[in-house]
Amino acid sequence: MAAKIFVNLPVKDLQKSIDFFTKLGYTFNPQFTDENATCMIIEEGSIYAMLLTHAHFKTFIDKGISDATESTEVILSLEMPSKEKVDEIVKNAVEAGATKYRDLTDMGWMYQDSYADLDGHKWEVFWMDPNGFPQE
C-alpha cells in the first residue's frame, strides 16, 4: 500500500495560492518549490498537495485542465482533531478569499464544513467520532 499521497492541483496564480493556504496554517517544502510549483504539507510524512501553475500542470496531462469554478473534479476531505479546528479552518479560508459551497453539517458523531479555494477546488474539513456512528 502507498505510504504517502501527493494530490496535484492546478492553480492560476501560484503566489496567491501560497498566500491563501499559509493563512490557513499550511507550510511548504522549499525543496519542491520554485516558480512552477510548491509542495504544501498537509500532514508531515504522509499527505501533500502539489500546487502547480497551469503551464506546468499541462506538462503532466494529455487533456485540458478542468475549470473547478465551473465543474467539480474532486472533493478533498481532511479530518481535523476537533470541531473547533473545523470552524477555524473554514473561517480562515473564507477570510482569505475562499467561498462556501455547502452549509455546516452537524450529525453529532460527525461535524463537517466546506469551502472552495481561490481556484474553485472543493475542500471539506470534518471531525468524526467513530464510536458515535449510529448502529442499526
Q: How much is the pLDDT for 31?
A: 95
Q: Tell me the pTM.
A: 0.89
Q: How much is the pLDDT for 124?
A: 96
CA-wise closest residue to 9 among 62, 54, 46: 54
DSSP state of 118: T
Domains and CATH numbers, the chain: 1-60 (3.10.180.10), 73-136 (3.10.180.10)
Q: How much is the pLDDT for 42?
A: 97
DSSP codes, 11-69: ES-HHHHHHHHHHTT-EEEGGG-SSSEEEEEEETTTEEEEEEEHHHHGGG-SSPPP-TT
Q: How much is the pLDDT for 136?
A: 65
Q: How much is the pLDDT for 131?
A: 83
Rounded CA-CA distance 69/67 in Å is: 5
Which positions of the chain have pLDDT values less than 70? 136
